[in-house]
Protein backbone atom coordinates (compact mmCIF):
# COMPACT_ATOMS: atom_id res chain seq x y z
CA UNK A 1 0.00 0.00 0.00
CA UNK A 2 1.31 3.40 -0.90
CA UNK A 3 2.14 5.59 2.08
CA UNK A 4 2.27 2.67 4.53
CA UNK A 5 5.78 3.75 5.59
CA UNK A 6 4.35 7.06 6.75
CA UNK A 7 1.51 5.63 8.79
CA UNK A 8 2.01 3.13 11.58
CA UNK A 9 -0.28 0.14 11.25
CA UNK A 10 -2.78 -0.18 14.09
CA UNK A 11 -2.49 -2.88 16.72
CA UNK A 12 -5.50 -5.12 16.30
CA UNK A 13 -6.65 -7.59 18.96
CA UNK A 14 -9.34 -10.19 18.30
CA UNK A 15 -10.93 -11.93 21.29
CA UNK A 16 -12.20 -15.39 20.40
CA UNK A 17 -10.83 -18.00 17.98
CA UNK A 18 -14.12 -19.43 16.83
CA UNK A 19 -15.32 -19.22 13.24
CA UNK A 20 -16.01 -15.48 13.50
CA UNK A 21 -12.71 -14.43 15.04
CA UNK A 22 -10.63 -16.67 12.77
CA UNK A 23 -12.46 -15.56 9.62
CA UNK A 24 -11.78 -11.94 10.52
CA UNK A 25 -8.11 -12.65 11.31
CA UNK A 26 -7.70 -14.62 8.07
CA UNK A 27 -9.24 -11.87 5.93
CA UNK A 28 -7.13 -9.20 7.61
CA UNK A 29 -3.99 -11.25 7.01
CA UNK A 30 -4.92 -11.74 3.35
CA UNK A 31 -5.23 -7.95 3.17
CA UNK A 32 -1.73 -7.45 4.60
CA UNK A 33 -2.84 -6.68 8.16
CA UNK A 34 -1.60 -8.77 11.07
CA UNK A 35 -3.40 -9.11 14.37
CA UNK A 36 -3.33 -11.02 17.64
CA UNK A 37 -6.06 -13.48 18.58
CA UNK A 38 -6.71 -14.43 22.20
CA UNK A 39 -8.66 -17.61 22.90
CA UNK A 40 -9.81 -18.65 26.38
CA UNK A 41 -9.95 -22.39 25.64
CA UNK A 42 -7.25 -24.77 24.47
CA UNK A 43 -8.48 -25.12 20.86
CA UNK A 44 -9.91 -23.16 17.94
CA UNK A 45 -13.41 -23.46 16.53
CA UNK A 46 -15.69 -22.78 19.47
CA UNK A 47 -19.01 -24.52 18.82
CA UNK A 48 -17.68 -25.83 15.48
CA UNK A 49 -16.13 -29.01 16.86
CA UNK A 50 -16.15 -32.44 15.18
CA UNK A 51 -16.14 -35.90 16.79
CA UNK A 52 -13.43 -38.16 15.37
CA UNK A 53 -11.77 -41.47 16.27
CA UNK A 54 -14.63 -42.55 18.51
CA UNK A 55 -17.52 -44.04 16.55
CA UNK A 56 -17.12 -47.37 14.77
CA UNK A 57 -16.68 -47.49 10.99
CA UNK A 58 -14.63 -44.27 11.38
CA UNK A 59 -17.84 -42.28 11.29
CA UNK A 60 -17.71 -38.59 12.14
CA UNK A 61 -20.26 -36.54 14.05
CA UNK A 62 -20.46 -32.99 15.34
CA UNK A 63 -20.41 -31.75 18.93
CA UNK A 64 -21.95 -28.46 17.80
CA UNK A 65 -22.68 -26.73 14.48
CA UNK A 66 -23.55 -29.35 11.88
CA UNK A 67 -25.58 -28.31 8.83
CA UNK A 68 -25.17 -25.66 6.14
CA UNK A 69 -28.07 -24.28 4.12
CA UNK A 70 -27.90 -23.85 0.35
CA UNK A 71 -28.21 -20.07 0.87
CA UNK A 72 -25.25 -19.92 3.29
CA UNK A 73 -22.93 -18.49 0.67
CA UNK A 74 -20.24 -17.04 2.95
CA UNK A 75 -19.30 -20.33 4.61
CA UNK A 76 -19.66 -22.26 1.35
CA UNK A 77 -17.31 -19.90 -0.49
CA UNK A 78 -14.79 -19.80 2.36
CA UNK A 79 -14.71 -23.60 2.59
CA UNK A 80 -14.10 -23.84 -1.15
CA UNK A 81 -11.37 -21.17 -0.97
CA UNK A 82 -9.36 -23.13 1.57
CA UNK A 83 -9.80 -26.46 -0.18
CA UNK A 84 -12.66 -28.15 1.65
CA UNK A 85 -15.47 -30.09 0.00
CA UNK A 86 -19.15 -29.97 0.86
CA UNK A 87 -21.28 -33.10 0.76
CA UNK A 88 -24.88 -32.65 -0.39
CA UNK A 89 -26.90 -34.61 2.16
CA UNK A 90 -30.17 -34.16 0.29
CA UNK A 91 -28.77 -35.68 -2.92
CA UNK A 92 -27.27 -38.56 -0.94
CA UNK A 93 -30.56 -39.42 0.72
CA UNK A 94 -33.22 -41.30 -1.19
CA UNK A 95 -36.23 -39.20 -2.05
CA UNK A 96 -38.64 -41.88 -0.86
CA UNK A 97 -37.22 -41.60 2.66
CA UNK A 98 -39.38 -39.18 4.65
CA UNK A 99 -39.40 -37.67 8.13
CA UNK A 100 -41.68 -39.36 10.68
CA UNK A 101 -43.90 -37.41 13.05
CA UNK A 102 -45.53 -38.91 16.15
CA UNK A 103 -48.08 -37.02 18.23
CA UNK A 104 -50.85 -38.00 20.65
CA UNK A 105 -49.59 -41.58 20.65
CA UNK A 106 -49.94 -42.16 16.93
CA UNK A 107 -48.13 -41.44 13.65
CA UNK A 108 -48.74 -38.18 11.83
CA UNK A 109 -47.41 -38.64 8.31
CA UNK A 110 -45.47 -36.15 6.23
CA UNK A 111 -48.28 -36.28 3.66
CA UNK A 112 -50.84 -35.40 6.34
CA UNK A 113 -48.64 -32.52 7.54
CA UNK A 114 -48.26 -31.30 3.95
CA UNK A 115 -52.05 -31.29 3.48
CA UNK A 116 -52.51 -29.33 6.72
CA UNK A 117 -49.78 -26.91 5.63
CA UNK A 118 -51.65 -26.10 2.40
CA UNK A 119 -54.65 -24.92 4.39
CA UNK A 120 -52.66 -22.46 6.51
CA UNK A 121 -50.01 -21.36 4.01
CA UNK A 122 -51.83 -18.19 2.83
CA UNK A 123 -52.05 -16.79 6.39
CA UNK A 124 -48.44 -17.72 7.18
CA UNK A 125 -47.18 -16.16 3.98
CA UNK A 126 -49.20 -13.00 4.54
CA UNK A 127 -47.58 -12.47 7.94
CA UNK A 128 -44.17 -13.07 6.40
CA UNK A 129 -44.77 -10.50 3.66
CA UNK A 130 -46.34 -7.97 6.02
CA UNK A 131 -43.35 -8.11 8.37
CA UNK A 132 -40.87 -7.27 5.59
CA UNK A 133 -37.79 -8.85 7.19
CA UNK A 134 -35.31 -8.03 8.55
CA UNK A 135 -37.00 -6.64 11.64
CA UNK A 136 -34.58 -4.39 13.56
CA UNK A 137 -34.70 -1.91 16.41
CA UNK A 138 -34.64 0.94 13.88
CA UNK A 139 -36.60 -0.71 11.06
CA UNK A 140 -39.89 -2.54 11.53
CA UNK A 141 -43.45 -2.61 10.25
CA UNK A 142 -46.64 -2.44 12.29
CA UNK A 143 -47.19 -6.18 11.80
CA UNK A 144 -43.58 -6.85 12.71
CA UNK A 145 -44.06 -4.98 15.99
CA UNK A 146 -47.28 -6.87 16.72
CA UNK A 147 -45.75 -10.28 16.09
CA UNK A 148 -42.62 -9.42 18.05
CA UNK A 149 -44.81 -8.91 21.10
CA UNK A 150 -46.61 -12.23 21.03
CA UNK A 151 -45.02 -15.63 21.51
CA UNK A 152 -44.45 -18.44 19.03
CA UNK A 153 -47.05 -20.50 20.87
CA UNK A 154 -49.61 -17.68 20.78
CA UNK A 155 -49.02 -17.31 17.05
CA UNK A 156 -49.53 -21.04 16.48
CA UNK A 157 -52.81 -20.82 18.39
CA UNK A 158 -53.92 -17.90 16.22
CA UNK A 159 -52.89 -19.26 12.81
CA UNK A 160 -53.27 -23.05 13.01
CA UNK A 161 -56.79 -24.49 13.42
CA UNK A 162 -57.03 -25.92 16.97
CA UNK A 163 -53.58 -24.41 17.66
CA UNK A 164 -51.16 -26.53 19.72
CA UNK A 165 -53.91 -29.11 20.21
CA UNK A 166 -53.69 -30.03 16.51
CA UNK A 167 -51.06 -32.32 15.06
CA UNK A 168 -49.54 -29.54 12.93
CA UNK A 169 -49.57 -27.19 15.92
CA UNK A 170 -47.82 -29.74 18.11
CA UNK A 171 -45.27 -30.41 15.39
CA UNK A 172 -44.42 -26.72 15.06
CA UNK A 173 -44.33 -26.25 18.83
CA UNK A 174 -41.76 -29.03 19.27
CA UNK A 175 -39.78 -28.04 16.18
CA UNK A 176 -39.32 -24.42 17.23
CA UNK A 177 -38.55 -25.29 20.83
CA UNK A 178 -35.60 -27.27 19.49
CA UNK A 179 -34.76 -24.87 16.66
CA UNK A 180 -34.17 -21.97 19.05
CA UNK A 181 -33.48 -23.97 22.21
CA UNK A 182 -36.26 -22.39 24.26
CA UNK A 183 -39.89 -22.93 25.20
CA UNK A 184 -42.13 -21.45 22.54
CA UNK A 185 -44.07 -19.35 25.04
CA UNK A 186 -40.89 -17.34 25.72
CA UNK A 187 -39.90 -16.68 22.10
CA UNK A 188 -40.90 -13.83 19.80
CA UNK A 189 -43.35 -15.03 17.15
CA UNK A 190 -41.03 -13.52 14.55
CA UNK A 191 -38.72 -16.50 15.15
CA UNK A 192 -41.20 -18.85 13.50
CA UNK A 193 -42.61 -16.43 10.92
CA UNK A 194 -39.18 -15.59 9.45
CA UNK A 195 -38.42 -19.29 8.81
CA UNK A 196 -41.76 -20.98 8.22
CA UNK A 197 -43.03 -18.12 6.10
CA UNK A 198 -40.06 -18.37 3.73
CA UNK A 199 -41.17 -21.83 2.61
CA UNK A 200 -43.03 -22.94 -0.49
CA UNK A 201 -46.73 -23.71 -0.64
CA UNK A 202 -46.37 -27.09 -2.35
CA UNK A 203 -43.29 -28.36 -0.50
CA UNK A 204 -43.76 -28.43 3.27
CA UNK A 205 -40.56 -27.72 5.17
CA UNK A 206 -40.78 -27.04 8.89
CA UNK A 207 -38.05 -24.41 8.59
CA UNK A 208 -39.00 -22.88 5.26
CA UNK A 209 -36.09 -22.11 2.96
CA UNK A 210 -33.59 -23.37 5.55
CA UNK A 211 -32.87 -26.70 3.86
CA UNK A 212 -29.90 -28.09 5.88
CA UNK A 213 -28.40 -29.31 2.63
CA UNK A 214 -24.63 -29.46 3.25
CA UNK A 215 -21.96 -30.66 5.63
CA UNK A 216 -18.20 -30.33 5.24
CA UNK A 217 -16.84 -33.71 4.16
CA UNK A 218 -14.57 -35.01 6.88
CA UNK A 219 -15.94 -32.75 9.63
CA UNK A 220 -16.87 -29.10 9.97
CA UNK A 221 -14.01 -28.19 12.30
CA UNK A 222 -11.58 -28.54 9.42
CA UNK A 223 -12.72 -25.02 8.52
CA UNK A 224 -11.46 -23.27 11.68
CA UNK A 225 -8.48 -25.61 11.68
CA UNK A 226 -7.37 -24.51 8.23
CA UNK A 227 -8.01 -20.86 8.98
CA UNK A 228 -5.79 -21.17 12.05
CA UNK A 229 -2.99 -22.85 10.12
CA UNK A 230 -3.18 -20.18 7.41
CA UNK A 231 -2.28 -17.48 9.93
CA UNK A 232 1.31 -16.61 10.88
CA UNK A 233 2.67 -18.79 13.65
CA UNK A 234 1.97 -17.33 17.06
CA UNK A 235 -1.06 -15.31 15.96
CA UNK A 236 -3.39 -17.19 18.32
CA UNK A 237 -2.69 -17.34 22.04
CA UNK A 238 -4.61 -20.07 23.84
CA UNK A 239 -5.88 -20.42 27.42
CA UNK A 240 -6.03 -16.64 27.73
CA UNK A 241 -9.32 -15.28 29.07
CA UNK A 242 -10.48 -11.69 28.72
CA UNK A 243 -11.33 -10.18 32.09
CA UNK A 244 -12.00 -6.55 31.19
CA UNK A 245 -11.95 -3.99 28.41
CA UNK A 246 -11.75 -0.23 28.93
CA UNK A 247 -11.28 2.76 26.69
CA UNK A 248 -8.18 4.80 27.56
CA UNK A 249 -6.26 7.80 26.17
CA UNK A 250 -5.87 8.43 22.45
CA UNK A 251 -8.86 6.17 21.65
CA UNK A 252 -6.94 3.05 22.59
CA UNK A 253 -8.32 0.10 24.50
CA UNK A 254 -6.83 -1.62 27.51
CA UNK A 255 -7.64 -5.31 27.70
CA UNK A 256 -6.85 -7.36 30.78
CA UNK A 257 -6.31 -11.08 30.25
CA UNK A 258 -5.76 -14.00 32.58
CA UNK A 259 -3.52 -16.85 31.47
CA UNK A 260 -2.97 -19.62 34.02
CA UNK A 261 -2.05 -17.72 37.20
CA UNK A 262 -0.85 -14.62 35.37
CA UNK A 263 -2.85 -11.45 34.72
CA UNK A 264 -1.55 -9.09 32.05
CA UNK A 265 -2.84 -6.08 30.13
CA UNK A 266 -2.64 -5.38 26.41
CA UNK A 267 -3.11 -2.05 24.62
CA UNK A 268 -4.87 -2.08 21.27
CA UNK A 269 -5.94 0.47 18.69
CA UNK A 270 -8.71 -1.78 17.40
CA UNK A 271 -10.56 -4.57 19.21
CA UNK A 272 -12.81 -7.27 17.82
CA UNK A 273 -15.01 -9.02 20.37
CA UNK A 274 -15.89 -12.37 18.81
CA UNK A 275 -17.24 -14.18 21.86
CA UNK A 276 -20.86 -14.95 22.79
CA UNK A 277 -22.73 -12.19 24.60
CA UNK A 278 -23.57 -14.76 27.28
CA UNK A 279 -19.86 -14.95 28.15
CA UNK A 280 -19.25 -11.24 27.65
CA UNK A 281 -22.08 -10.46 30.10
CA UNK A 282 -20.94 -12.75 32.90
CA UNK A 283 -17.15 -12.91 32.54
CA UNK A 284 -15.97 -9.53 31.20
CA UNK A 285 -16.07 -6.10 32.85
CA UNK A 286 -16.92 -3.66 30.07
CA UNK A 287 -18.23 -0.78 32.23
CA UNK A 288 -15.49 1.55 31.00
CA UNK A 289 -15.49 0.44 27.35
CA UNK A 290 -17.74 3.30 26.24
CA UNK A 291 -20.54 1.10 24.91
CA UNK A 292 -23.93 2.65 24.21
CA UNK A 293 -26.85 1.87 26.50
CA UNK A 294 -28.60 -0.09 23.74
CA UNK A 295 -25.49 -2.20 23.15
CA UNK A 296 -25.25 -2.95 26.86
CA UNK A 297 -28.91 -3.88 26.93
CA UNK A 298 -28.42 -6.34 24.05
CA UNK A 299 -25.40 -7.90 25.76
CA UNK A 300 -27.32 -8.22 29.00
CA UNK A 301 -30.65 -9.47 27.65
CA UNK A 302 -29.97 -11.54 24.50
CA UNK A 303 -30.80 -15.11 25.48
CA UNK A 304 -29.02 -18.37 24.68
CA UNK A 305 -30.80 -21.62 23.90
CA UNK A 306 -30.42 -24.73 26.03
CA UNK A 307 -29.98 -27.14 23.12
CA UNK A 308 -28.35 -30.48 23.84
CA UNK A 309 -27.03 -32.98 21.30
CA UNK A 310 -26.93 -36.70 21.96
CA UNK A 311 -25.10 -38.60 19.19
CA UNK A 312 -25.97 -42.31 19.40
CA UNK A 313 -24.54 -45.06 17.18
CA UNK A 314 -26.55 -48.15 16.24
CA UNK A 315 -25.50 -51.45 14.68
CA UNK A 316 -27.43 -50.56 11.51
CA UNK A 317 -29.38 -47.73 9.92
CA UNK A 318 -32.62 -49.53 10.69
CA UNK A 319 -34.80 -46.48 10.12
CA UNK A 320 -34.10 -46.68 6.40
CA UNK A 321 -35.80 -50.06 6.18
CA UNK A 322 -39.09 -48.30 6.76
CA UNK A 323 -38.30 -45.38 4.40
CA UNK A 324 -37.43 -42.96 7.18
CA UNK A 325 -34.50 -40.57 6.65
CA UNK A 326 -33.60 -40.47 10.33
CA UNK A 327 -35.63 -37.34 11.00
CA UNK A 328 -38.40 -37.69 13.57
CA UNK A 329 -40.44 -35.23 15.65
CA UNK A 330 -42.54 -36.21 18.64
CA UNK A 331 -44.08 -35.01 21.89
CA UNK A 332 -43.25 -38.11 23.92
CA UNK A 333 -40.10 -36.68 25.46
CA UNK A 334 -37.11 -36.96 23.13
CA UNK A 335 -38.36 -34.25 20.71
CA UNK A 336 -36.24 -34.55 17.51
CA UNK A 337 -33.83 -36.86 15.71
CA UNK A 338 -31.87 -36.68 12.49
CA UNK A 339 -29.28 -38.97 10.94
CA UNK A 340 -25.68 -37.99 11.59
CA UNK A 341 -24.15 -40.73 9.46
CA UNK A 342 -25.77 -39.76 6.15
CA UNK A 343 -23.30 -40.21 3.30
CA UNK A 344 -20.69 -41.92 5.46
CA UNK A 345 -19.20 -45.35 4.84
CA UNK A 346 -19.92 -48.41 6.96
CA UNK A 347 -22.99 -50.30 8.07
CA UNK A 348 -23.41 -48.55 11.41
CA UNK A 349 -25.72 -45.59 11.80
CA UNK A 350 -25.70 -42.49 14.00
CA UNK A 351 -28.85 -40.77 15.13
CA UNK A 352 -28.57 -37.29 16.62
CA UNK A 353 -31.13 -36.62 19.34
CA UNK A 354 -31.64 -32.85 19.40
CA UNK A 355 -33.42 -31.32 22.38
CA UNK A 356 -34.13 -27.77 23.50
CA UNK A 357 -35.97 -25.72 26.07
CA UNK A 358 -36.65 -27.42 29.41
CA UNK A 359 -36.00 -30.89 27.98
CA UNK A 360 -32.64 -29.82 26.56
CA UNK A 361 -31.69 -28.21 29.86
CA UNK A 362 -32.44 -31.48 31.68
CA UNK A 363 -29.68 -33.37 29.81
CA UNK A 364 -27.08 -31.74 32.03
CA UNK A 365 -25.01 -34.52 33.59
CA UNK A 366 -22.46 -36.63 31.71
CA UNK A 367 -22.63 -39.28 34.44
CA UNK A 368 -26.17 -40.11 33.35
CA UNK A 369 -25.44 -40.53 29.64
CA UNK A 370 -26.33 -44.24 29.63
CA UNK A 371 -29.66 -43.44 31.28
CA UNK A 372 -30.30 -40.64 28.76
CA UNK A 373 -29.59 -42.97 25.84
CA UNK A 374 -31.76 -45.80 27.15
CA UNK A 375 -34.67 -43.43 27.82
CA UNK A 376 -34.28 -41.94 24.34
CA UNK A 377 -34.21 -45.35 22.63
CA UNK A 378 -37.22 -46.65 24.54
CA UNK A 379 -39.22 -43.62 23.43
CA UNK A 380 -37.93 -43.78 19.86
CA UNK A 381 -39.01 -47.45 19.66
CA UNK A 382 -42.62 -46.24 19.71
CA UNK A 383 -41.94 -44.26 16.52
CA UNK A 384 -39.53 -46.60 14.68
CA UNK A 385 -39.27 -50.17 16.08
CA UNK A 386 -35.65 -51.38 16.00
CA UNK A 387 -36.27 -55.07 15.40
CA UNK A 388 -32.74 -56.54 15.39
CA UNK A 389 -30.81 -53.25 15.50
CA UNK A 390 -29.09 -52.34 18.75
CA UNK A 391 -27.29 -49.47 20.37
CA UNK A 392 -23.61 -50.46 20.22
CA UNK A 393 -22.67 -48.59 23.40
CA UNK A 394 -21.21 -45.55 21.62
CA UNK A 395 -22.74 -42.18 22.50
CA UNK A 396 -21.60 -38.58 22.98
CA UNK A 397 -23.52 -35.96 24.95
CA UNK A 398 -22.98 -32.23 24.40
CA UNK A 399 -24.62 -29.87 26.87
CA UNK A 400 -23.51 -26.46 25.63
CA UNK A 401 -25.22 -24.55 28.42
CA UNK A 402 -22.69 -26.14 30.77
CA UNK A 403 -19.70 -25.08 28.65
CA UNK A 404 -18.07 -22.10 30.39
CA UNK A 405 -16.96 -20.56 27.09
CA UNK A 406 -20.45 -20.57 25.53
CA UNK A 407 -23.01 -20.81 28.36
CA UNK A 408 -25.61 -21.93 25.83
CA UNK A 409 -26.07 -23.29 22.34
CA UNK A 410 -26.90 -20.24 20.23
CA UNK A 411 -28.85 -16.98 20.64
CA UNK A 412 -32.53 -16.33 20.13
CA UNK A 413 -34.91 -13.41 20.59
CA UNK A 414 -37.48 -13.33 23.36
CA UNK A 415 -40.75 -11.42 23.15
CA UNK A 416 -40.25 -7.83 22.08
CA UNK A 417 -36.50 -8.09 21.51
CA UNK A 418 -36.42 -7.71 17.73
CA UNK A 419 -37.88 -4.21 17.91
CA UNK A 420 -36.00 -3.45 21.13
CA UNK A 421 -32.40 -4.11 20.04
CA UNK A 422 -32.05 -6.50 17.06
CA UNK A 423 -29.32 -5.16 14.77
CA UNK A 424 -27.34 -3.26 17.41
CA UNK A 425 -25.37 -6.40 18.25
CA UNK A 426 -23.11 -5.96 15.21
CA UNK A 427 -22.72 -2.19 15.34
CA UNK A 428 -19.23 -0.98 16.22
CA UNK A 429 -18.62 1.15 19.33
CA UNK A 430 -15.76 3.47 18.53
CA UNK A 431 -12.91 1.22 17.41
CA UNK A 432 -14.39 -1.82 19.13
CA UNK A 433 -16.04 -4.16 16.64
CA UNK A 434 -18.36 -7.10 17.25
CA UNK A 435 -18.38 -10.47 15.48
CA UNK A 436 -20.01 -13.81 16.16
CA UNK A 437 -23.25 -15.39 15.00
CA UNK A 438 -25.17 -13.28 17.54
CA UNK A 439 -24.28 -10.20 15.47
CA UNK A 440 -25.60 -11.55 12.16
CA UNK A 441 -28.89 -10.04 11.00
CA UNK A 442 -29.83 -12.87 8.63
CA UNK A 443 -27.95 -15.89 10.00
CA UNK A 444 -27.99 -15.63 13.76
CA UNK A 445 -27.48 -19.07 15.29
CA UNK A 446 -25.79 -20.54 12.19
CA UNK A 447 -22.14 -21.21 11.42
CA UNK A 448 -22.69 -19.01 8.38
CA UNK A 449 -23.62 -16.17 10.71
CA UNK A 450 -20.23 -16.47 12.38
CA UNK A 451 -18.33 -16.53 9.08
CA UNK A 452 -20.41 -13.71 7.61
CA UNK A 453 -19.79 -11.55 10.69
CA UNK A 454 -16.04 -12.12 10.48
CA UNK A 455 -16.07 -11.06 6.85
CA UNK A 456 -18.14 -7.98 7.70
CA UNK A 457 -15.90 -6.84 10.56
CA UNK A 458 -12.77 -7.22 8.43
CA UNK A 459 -14.30 -4.92 5.80
CA UNK A 460 -15.32 -2.42 8.49
CA UNK A 461 -11.79 -2.35 9.92
CA UNK A 462 -10.19 -1.91 6.50
CA UNK A 463 -12.53 0.99 5.74
CA UNK A 464 -11.63 2.57 9.08
CA UNK A 465 -7.85 2.37 8.72
CA UNK A 466 -7.39 3.10 5.02
Phi-psi region of 32 (alpha: psi -120 to 50; beta: other; left: phi over 0): left
CA–chain centroid gap for 141, Å, is 27
The answer to the question of whether 39 is labelled as a binding residue is yes
Q: Which of 368, 310, 304 is nearest to 334 (CA)?
A: 310
Residue 207: Cβ-neighbour burial (10 angstroms; 0-12, 13-18, 19+): middle
Q: How many Cβ atoms are within 10 Å of 201's Cβ, its own excluded?
A: 11
Q: Is 318 helix (H, G, I), strand (E, B) or coil?
A: helix
3-state secondary structure of 56: helix
What distances in angstroms separate CA 454 from CA 38, 272, 349, 396, one per listed residue? 15, 9, 35, 30
Say if CB 301 and CB 259 are below 8 A apart: no
Q: CB of 331 within 8 A of CB of 103? A: yes
SS3 label, residue 261 = coil
Q: String of b and e for 107-117 (b: at least 16 CB within 10 Å)?
A: ebebeebeebb
Helix (H, G, I), strand (E, B) or coil at 308: strand
Report the binding-site residues for FAD.
Answer: 39-40
Report the binding-site residues.
Answer: 39-40
Amino acid sequence: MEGDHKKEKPKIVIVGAGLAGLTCAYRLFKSGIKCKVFEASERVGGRCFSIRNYFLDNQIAEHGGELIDSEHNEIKELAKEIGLKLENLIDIDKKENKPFYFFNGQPYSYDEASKDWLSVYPRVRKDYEDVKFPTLYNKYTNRGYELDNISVRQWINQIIPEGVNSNLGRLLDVAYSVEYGAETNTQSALNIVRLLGSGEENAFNIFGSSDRMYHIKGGNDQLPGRLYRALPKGTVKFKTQLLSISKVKYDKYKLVFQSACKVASVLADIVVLAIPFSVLKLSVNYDKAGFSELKKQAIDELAMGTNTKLNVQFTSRYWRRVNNNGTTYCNIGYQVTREGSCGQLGTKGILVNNTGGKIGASYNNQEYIKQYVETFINRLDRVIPRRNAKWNGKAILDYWTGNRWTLGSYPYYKLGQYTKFAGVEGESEGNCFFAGDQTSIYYQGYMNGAVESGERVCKEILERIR
